[in-house]
C-alpha cells in the first residue's frame, strides 16, 4: 500500500472534552489572535496543541503524569467526561485523536487515524498507551502504509510548538550555552537558542542582519550578535552581543527582559526550519510600544508562509492586527467558547474606533 503525503497547511481544529472545552471548533487562518478575560481559559487552546504534540511524540503517559492525573485533563473531571476527541484538519489530510479514561486515572488512545483522499489509515490501535507515529518501526500488515517517508511527512506538517517567553530570568534556559548540533528547530523552552542563531549566522547572514535591524529599532543600545564557539568546548555555542556605544562584549543576561523576549520570538519566526504553525502565549509581555509595532509587522509578513496562533492581553497590540484575525474566547455555561470576530458585525464601529478601543469597551466581547 502506497500513501503519498503532499505539503499542506493546517486549516481547522475541533476539540471535545479537553480541559475547559466541552465542544469547540474554529477555522485556523494565517493569523489567529486569541483574546479574553483572565479566567476565560485562553491558555487551554494553546495547550490543546501542546497536548497533541506530546501524544504524537510518544509522551502521552508522561504528559498525564505531569498534569497530576487524567482527571485534570478531562472537561469538568472524570465524573463528567470520560473521553477526549481532537480533530485537526489540514488542506491535504485530517488527523483524528480520541482518548479514553482508565481506572488507573490515566488515558489510553481509543482512536488515532489519518484520513487522506477519502481513505482512513489507522496510526495506533485502540487501547494503545502511546502513539505509534514516532514509535518503533512497524512491520505488521495493518500498518504497512505507515512507511518512514510517510511518517516524516506527517511529522513535518504536524510540527507545532507552544512558546512561552514570559520567564527570561536566571532560571530560564534562553541564552544558555547550547550544543551547536542541536540547531534544527527551536525547542519550546528556548534551550537551543544559541545553536539556532549560530546556524542562521552561518547559513543565512542576511536573515541575521534583518533580526539585528528589528532588535536595534526596539532597543537602540543593541548593535549586533557576536555568536561564537566556547573556547573550552567547541561543541557549545555562546551568546554574546555588542553594545552600540561600547567596545566590550556582553552576554545574554545583560539584555533587558523585553529584548530577551523579542530575540526569542524573532528566532522562532526566522529559524530556517520553522514549524508550520507557531503558537506563542502573550508575545507582547514586557515589550515597548515601538517594539510591539515592529513585532506585528514581522508577524504579518511571516504569515504569508507560516500560520500563527497567539493569545494576548494588550489592547495596544491588538490594534495592530485586522478584525478578521481575532478570536474571542469567553467562558460561558461552564465551558470555553471560541468565536471569530465578524468584520461585518462591527463595520459601523471600526470606522470611528480601533480594535483595542472596541475590546476595552467590551463591544467585541472578551471583557468582564
Q: With bands split at pLDDT 50, 70 and 90, how would you rate the model's confidence at 160?
A: confident
Number of domains composing the chain: 1
In a domain, 35, yes or no: no
| Domain hosting residue 233, numbered range | 160-312
Specify which residues 225 forms β-bridges with: 241
Q: What's the sign of the alpha-carbon dihedral 122, 125, 127, 128? A: negative
How would DSSP label each residue in 250-309? EEGGGS-HHHHHHHHHHHHHH-TT--SEEEEE-TTTT--HHHHHHHHHHHHHHTTTSEEE
Torsion over CA: 359, 363, 366, 367 (sign)? positive
* Neighbour tally for 80: CB within 10 Å: 11
Please check whether residue 234 lies inside any domain of the structure: yes
Query: What average pLDDT does this structure show over 36-64?
Result: 88
Q: How confident is the model at residue 155 (pLDDT cuts 50, 70, 90)?
A: low
- CATH number of the domain bearing residue 186: 3.40.50
pLDDT value of residue 1: 43
Residue 219 lies in a domain: yes
**Coil/strand/helix, residue 21:** strand
Please state, rounded to an integer, the average pLDDT across all residues of the chain.
Answer: 89
Q: Report if residue 220 sits inside a domain.
A: yes
The answer to whether residue 367 is domain-embedded is no
Domain membership flag for residue 17: no
- Each residue's pLDDT tens digit, 129-143: 999 876 544 444 355
Set of cell numbers at residue 253: 543576561
What grid cell was written down for 288?
A: 515597548
Split at pLDDT 50, 70, 90, the class of 368 is: confident
Of residues 144 and 295, more confidence is placed in: 295
Quick check: is 57 in a domain? no
- Identify whether 238 is part of a domain: yes
In which band, very low, low, confident or very high, does the pLDDT at 148 lie, cut at 50, 70 and 90? low
Q: Whole-angstrom distance between the N-terminal and C-terminal Cα of the chain?
A: 55
> What pLDDT shows up at residue 142?
52
Amino acid at each position: 500500500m502506497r500513501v503519498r503525503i503532499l505539503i499542506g497547511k493546517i486549516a481547522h481544529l475541533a476539540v471535545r472534552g479537553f480541559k475547559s472545552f466541552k465542544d469547540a471548533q474554529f477555522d485556523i487562518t494565517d493569523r489567529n489572535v486569541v483574546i479574553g478575560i483572565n479566567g476565560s481559559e485562553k491558555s487551554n487552546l494553546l495547550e490543546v496543541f501542546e497536548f497533541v504534540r506530546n501524544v504524537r511524540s510518544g509522551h502521552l503517559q508522561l504528559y498525564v503524569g505531569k498534569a497530576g492525573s487524567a482527571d485534570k485533563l478531562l472537561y469538568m473531571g472524570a465524573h463528567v467526561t470520560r473521553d477526549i476527541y481532537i480533530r485537526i484538519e489540514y488542506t491535504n489530510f485530517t488527523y483524528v485523536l480520541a482518548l479514553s479514561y482508565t481506572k488507573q486515572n490515566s488515558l489510553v488512545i481509543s482512536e488515532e487515524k489519518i484520513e487522506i483522499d477519502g481513505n482512513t489509515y489507522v496510526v495506533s490501535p485502540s487501547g494503545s498507551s502511546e502513539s505509534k507515529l514516532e514509535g518503533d518501526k512497524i512491520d505488521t500488515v495493518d500498518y504497512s502504509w505507515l512507511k518512514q517517508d510517510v511518517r516524516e511527512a506527517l511529522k513535518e506538517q504536524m510540527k507545532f510548538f507552544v512558546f512561552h517567553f514570559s520567564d527570561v530570568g536566571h532560571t530560564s534556559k534562553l541564552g544558555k550555552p547550547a550544543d551547536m548540533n542541536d540547531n534544527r528547530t527551536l525547542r519550546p523552552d528556548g534551550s537551543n537558542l544559541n545553536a539556532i542563531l549560530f546556524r542562521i549566522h552561518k547559513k543565512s547572514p542576511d536573515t541575521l542582519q534583518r533580526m539585528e535591524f528589528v532588535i536595534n529599532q526596539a532597543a537602540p543600545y543593541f548593535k549586533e550578535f557576536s555568536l561564537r564557539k566556547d573556547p573550552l568546548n567547541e561543541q557549545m555555542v555562546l551568546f554574546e552581543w555588542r553594545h552600540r556605544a561600547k567596545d566590550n562584549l556582553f552576554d545574554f543576561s545583560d539584555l533587558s527582559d523585553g529584548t530577551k523576549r523579542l530575540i526569542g520570538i524573532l528566532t522562532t519566526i526566522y529559524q530556517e526550519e520553522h514549524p508550520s504553525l507557531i503558537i506563542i502565549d502573550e508575545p507582547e509581555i514586557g515589550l515597548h510600544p515601538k517594539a510591539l509595532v515592529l513585532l506585528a509587522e514581522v508577524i504579518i509578513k511571516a504569515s504569508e508562509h507560516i500560520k500563527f496562533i497567539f493569545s494576548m492581553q494588550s489592547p495596544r497590540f491588538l490594534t495592530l492586527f485586522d478584525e478578521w484575525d481575532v478570536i474571542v474566547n469567553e467562558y460561558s455555561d461552564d465551558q470555553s467558547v471560541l468565536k471569530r470576530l465578524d468584520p461585518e458585525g462591527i463595520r459601523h464601529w471600526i470606522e470611528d474606533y480601533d480594535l483595542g478601543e472596541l475590546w476595552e469597551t467590551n463591544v467585541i466581547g472578551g471583557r468582564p
